[in-house]
A and B are shown apart, each in its own frame.
Chain A
Amino acid sequence: MILNIENDLNRFRQIVKGRVRKDLKRYMSSGEIIGKQGDKFVSIPLPEINIPRLRYGKNQTGGVGQGDADEGDKVDGAEESAGQAGDSPGDHLLEAEISIEELAEILGEELHLPRIEPRGKKNITATRDKYTGIARVGPQSLRHQKRTFREALKREISAGTYNSAAPVLVPRKEDVRYRSWNSKADPQSAAAILYVMDVSGSMGREQKEIVRLEAFWIDTWLRANYKHIETRFIIHDAVAREVDRETFFRTRESGGTLISSAYMQVDSLITEFYPPDEWNIYLFQFSDGDNWSAADTRTCIDLLKNRLLKSVNLFCYGQVESEYGSGQFFNDLRGDFGSDERVVLSKIPDREAIMGSIKDFLGKGR
Chain B
Amino acid sequence: MGEEHYRRSRRQLPPELEDARCRIQAIAKGHGLDFFDTVFEMCDYDEINMIASYGGFPTRYPHWRWGMEYLQMQKGYEYGLQKIYEMVINTNPAYAYLLDNNAFVDQKLVMAHVFGHVDFFKNNAWFAHTNRKMLDQVANHAAKVRRIIDAVGETATESWLDTCLSIDNLVDPYRDHIKRTRALDDEPPPPGSHKLPARSYMESYINPPDYVKRQEREAVARAERAKTFPEAPVRDVLGFVLEHGRMLRWQADILSIVRDEAYYFAPQAQTKIMNEGWASYWHTKLMTEQILEDAEVIDYCDHHSGTVAMRPGQLNPYKIGLELYRDIHKRWDRGQFGKDWIECDDAVAKRDWSRPTNLGKDKIFEVRRTHNDVTFLDTYLTEEFCRRVGLFTYEFDKKSGEYLVDSREFADIKQKLLFMVSNHGQPRVFVSDGNHANRGELELTHEYEGVDIQLDWASHTLGNLARVWGRPVHLRTRIESKDAVLHHDGEHFTYEGPKPAAGRK
Contact = CB atoms under 8 A, between A and B. Distances in A.
B311 A77 contact: yes
Given A12-B68, A66-B390, A77 B166 contact: no
Nearest to A49: B68
A12 B67 contact: yes
Contacts of A62: 393-396, 403, 406, 416
11 contacts: A1-B10, A3-B50, A5-B67, A8-B63, A12-B71, A68-B390, A71-B392, A82-B420, A86-B272, A86-B316, A87-B84
B417 interface: yes
B314 A8 contact: no
A70 interface: yes
A57 B451 contact: yes
A347 B300 CA distance: 66
Interface stretch (B106-114, B196-204, B221-229, B424-432): B424-432
Chain B: interface size category: 35 or more
Given A52-B461, A56-B425, A84-B425, 11 more contacts: A56-B426, A59-B396, A61-B419, A61-B420, A65-B392, A66-B313, A66-B392, A79-B403, A81-B313, A81-B315, A84-B317
Interface residues of A, number: 55
A54 B413 contact: no
Contact of A12 (B65, B310, B318, B417): B65
A65 B312 CA distance: 7
Contact of A53 (B71, B169, B446): B169
Max chain B Cβ within 10 angstroms of own Cβ: one of A1, A15, A65: A65
Given A55-B427, A64-B393, A66-B389, A13 B452 contact: no
B499 to A, nearest CB: 14
Interface in B29-65: 46-47, 50, 53-54, 58, 62-65
A76 interface: yes
A67 B390 contact: yes
B73 to A, nearest CB: 8
Contact of B393 (A49, A63, A85): A63
B285 to A, nearest CB: 20
Of the candidates A53, A54, A94, the one having the most CB atoms from chain B within 10 angstroms of its own CB is A54
Contacts of A67: 310, 312-313, 390, 392
Contact of A52 (B64, B316, B419, B460): B460
A9 interface: yes
Contact of A89 (B72, B168, B310, B413): B72
Nearest to A69: B405
Interface in B442-460: 446, 451-455, 457-458, 460
Interface of A: 1-5, 7-15, 49, 51-87, 89, 94, 96
B425 A61 contact: yes
A63 B403 CA distance: 9
B67 A8 contact: yes
B170 interface: yes
Among B276, B312, B454, residue most surrounded by chain A Cβ atoms (within 10 Å): B312
B460 to A, nearest CB: 4
Contact of B317 (A51, A53, A85): A85
B69 interface: yes
Contact of B392 (A12, A64, A79): A64
A54 B429 contact: yes
Contacts of B313: 63, 65-67, 69, 75-78, 81
Contact of A1 (B47, B169, B312, B452): B47
B101 interface: no
Given A55-B454, A78-B313, A78-B394, A86 B318 contact: yes
A89 B84 CA distance: 12
Nearest to A7: B62
B115 interface: no
Contacts of A65: 310, 312-315, 391-394, 405
Given A63-B315, A63-B393, A69-B392, A9 B451 contact: no
B391 A58 contact: no
Contacts, number: 218
Contacts of A12: 64-65, 67-68, 71
A262 B10 CA distance: 66
Nearest to B408: A71
Contacts of A52: 166, 457-458, 460-461, 464
A241 B253 CA distance: 68
A70 B394 CA distance: 11
A97 to B, nearest CB: 8
A77 B312 contact: yes
A60 B451 contact: yes
A53 B67 contact: no
A63 B427 CA distance: 15
Contacts of B316: 85-86
A297 B170 CA distance: 70
Given A54-B429, A62-B406, A75-B394, A81 B314 contact: yes
B453 A71 contact: no
B405 A57 contact: no
Contacts of A82: 420, 425
Contacts of A83: 315, 417, 420-421, 425
B420 A71 contact: no
B70 interface: yes
B312 A76 contact: yes
Q: Which 10 A-B pairs have the closest CB atoms?
A: A12-B67, A83-B420, A52-B460, A8-B67, A78-B403, A9-B67, A75-B313, A59-B396, A65-B313, A62-B395
A62 B272 CA distance: 19
Given A64-B420, A72-B405, A11 B67 contact: yes
B181 interface: no
Contacts of B212: none
B261 interface: no
Contacts of B69: 89
A75 to B, nearest CB: 4
B77 interface: no
**Which of B47, B170, B392 has the most chain A CB atoms closer than 10 A to its own CB?**
B392
B404 interface: yes
Contacts of B54: 5
A56 B451 contact: yes
Contacts of B272: 84, 86
Contacts of A73: 404-405
A22 to B, nearest CB: 15
Nearest to A3: B50
Given A51-B166, A73-B404, A64 B413 contact: yes
Given A8-B62, A57-B453, A74-B404, A80 B47 contact: no
A57 B312 contact: no
Contact of A55 (B72, B416, B457): B457
Contacts of B58: 4
Nearest to A67: B312
A60 B132 CA distance: 37
B394 A13 contact: no
B34 to A, nearest CB: 25
Contacts of A84: 272, 317, 425
Nearest to A12: B67
A91 to B, nearest CB: 10
Nearest to B477: A54
Contacts of A57: 451-455, 504
B453 A54 contact: yes
A361 B60 CA distance: 48
Nearest to B501: A57
B162 interface: yes
Nearest to A2: B9
Contact of B64 (A15, A55, A71, A85): A15
Given A65-B391, A65-B392, A9 B408 contact: no
A53 B70 CA distance: 21
A9 B425 contact: no
A54 B428 CA distance: 9
